[in-house]
Amino acid sequence: MSNGMLNSRTRRRKRPLPHPKKARPLPRRPANKFVDTKFTSELMAPTFSTTNLTRSGAIFLLAFSMAQAQLPVEKNVVRPIGPAAWHRDIFRPLGPWAIQVVEFDLRHPFLQLETAKAGDHLYSKERTSAMAARRDGEKHRIVAAINGDFFDINHGIPINLQLRDGEVLRQPTGRSVFAVSAAEKPVISFLSLIGSVQSKAGFWQALNGFNRARNADELIFYNHYFGGSTATNHFGSEVRIKPLKKFAVNDTIRAVVVETHRQAGDTPLEASTYVLSAHGAAENWLARNIALGDTIKFVWRFPETPWRLVEAIGGLPRLVRDGNLSIESKAEGGSESFTNNRHPRTAIGFTADTSRFFFVTVDGRQPGYSEGMTLLELANFMRELGCSQALNFDGGGSTTMVVRGNVVNRPSDAAGERAVANALLLVCTAPAGKLAYLDITTSRASVRPGEKFDFNMLAADSLFNPLNLSDTEVFWKAPRKLGKIDKYGVFTAGAKVDSGYIVAYRKPARDSAWVVVRPAR
């Protein structure tokens, strides 16, 4: 489907309003206060006048209307999920496509992007939702998360570069990478990693790799993400170094040699230190130039950018370059079926002025619900959002989006959400604030006379970060004719068929849910 065809059948996208600076009590209305639902059924069916219709025309109109009534209705549900962050739940019947979008402004002082590694181990797999939950905490709330790079399905190692908080987990492999600098500047690019170490006397030696097996005559750099030890044999030498400042690529790091191990290997790895492992010619250099207690320097750099990159995660292929479609699948090793067939997809993109970023997932392999997208369809959608640059991540059964702890898409694997290698997280660093919002998690309930229904409630501050409130801190109300609700949110239906709203409130917040008491069996 071309971009023109896609845009001609959809409503023009509206940029969400900025989050109000002052929290306000929620209105008394049936819709969840987090949600602004816009059903665009007018896009699906034209309006007819019944004036002067012939009998045959009326029959045709009736049949047409019945057919239209059976069509799925386009949906675009928008809700704020954090400071300068919104979640969009989109359904487009012409795919059909079920699309999840998280839009955010990374210029907000409380927002930042981070990568997560499954199990904090290079060779490990973990569900995206589990990584998000593990990293969530006070002043580090995970607003949203998406799955990241393609990976070895057996061992969980990503196929491309990963940086986390400045540390290299996996070196680049000649495919596209999404990265952000310490100043929150984004880049999508091919990156290569070059390293070297300088002895106390000023002699330099090239570093041959990072967190991988050591080969003949090589000097390899290891950190704790590689595993419990370097897993090397004794045909070499290793030294442990302790950095004097935080590790960063495109920076010079000074470190002190705290251990030396000649003709030895399999050195244990620790979170606070690094290990240099040498063999052959590199081992001879190490023996001549590095001694216990020396202060040495090492440098890792990306020649393609001067920025001090702190987070990076791989993907393939690039979808949009400088505002133009640029599906670079062949150059990055993507097959024809991967490119041109419809699959579940995950992507990241941002606008030319980097004021808006987008996490995107498209469900697939679920006939009648969502078929998935080709890379061309995905690239067109990313441009429709306004992306100047966009990159595809791992898809298929890996495609997952988490919003405030909940998986909001429908992963395609029969077993549910897949364990993956890594993930990209949107983090809110704001401290917890005062109560601003209540959210009854079930917006509609149907019960029979005398039946009970247990309503659950969530609380959030003005930045939509979760708050812990006890049941007794919230007040519940229900119309007498509808039934009664106790202080714990347990509703008991009345004896008669009826409908109405139950309300939860605590100043300045409130929410409501629609309840239907249907006839007894």
Cβ-Cβ contacts under 8 Å for 268 (sequence gap 6 or more): 228, 229
Q: Read off the pLDDT of residues 70-100 as tens digits, 9 standing for 90 and up.
A: 446 899 999 999 999 999 999 999 999 999 9
The residues pairing with 422 across neighbouring beta strands, listed in sequence order, are 117
| Residues of the chain below pLDDT 70 | 1-72, 471
Which of 394, 474, 479 lies closest to 441, judged by CA? Answer: 474
Domain stops at, among 246, 266, 301: 301
Distance between CA atoms of residues 39 and 45, nearest Å: 13
Which of 385, 376, 408 lies closest to 129, judged by CA? Answer: 408
Domain stops at, among 390, 410, 428: 428
249 shares a domain with 286: yes
323 shares a domain with 182: yes
Q: How much is the pTM?
A: 0.85
Identify the pLDDT of residue 472: 74
Q: Read off the pLDDT of residues 495-521 as tens digits, 9 standing for 90 and up.
A: 999 999 999 999 999 999 999 999 998
187 shares a domain with 322: yes
Identify the pLDDT of residue 422: 98
Identify the pLDDT of residue 470: 82
Give yes or no for a contact between 339 and 374, defined as CB atoms under 8 angstroms apart: yes
Residue 258: domain span: 194-301
414 shares a domain with 360: yes
- Adjacency order of strands within the sheet including 97-104: 36-39, 75-82, 85-92, 97-104, 357-362, 345-350, 389-392, 318-321, 324-325
Identify the pLDDT of residue 408: 98
Distance between CA atoms of residues 440 and 40, nearest Å: 26
Radius of gyration from C-alpha coordinates of the chain: 28
* Alpha-carbon dihedral sign for residues 162, 166, 168, 173: positive
Q: Read off the pLDDT of residues 10-42 as tens digits, 9 standing for 90 and up.
A: 333 334 434 433 333 333 333 333 333 332 222
99 shares a domain with 170: yes
CATH number, domain containing residue 276: 2.60.120
What total number of domains does the chain contain? 3
Give yes or no for a contact between 244 and 256, defined as CB atoms under 8 angstroms apart: yes
Long-range contacts of 213-219 (CB under 8 A, 24+ apart): 214/277, 214/278, 214/279, 215/279, 216/279, 216/280, 217/279, 217/280, 217/281, 217/282, 218/278, 218/279, 218/280, 218/282, 219/276, 219/277, 219/278, 219/282, 219/285, 219/286
500 shares a domain with 392: no
Give yes or no for a contact between 75 and 117, defined as CB atoms under 8 angstroms apart: no
Identify the pLDDT of residue 72: 65
Domain stops at, among 428, 445, 480: 428
421 shares a domain with 338: yes
- Confirm whether 463 is domain-assigned: yes
Q: Token pair for residue 217?
A: 């005559």
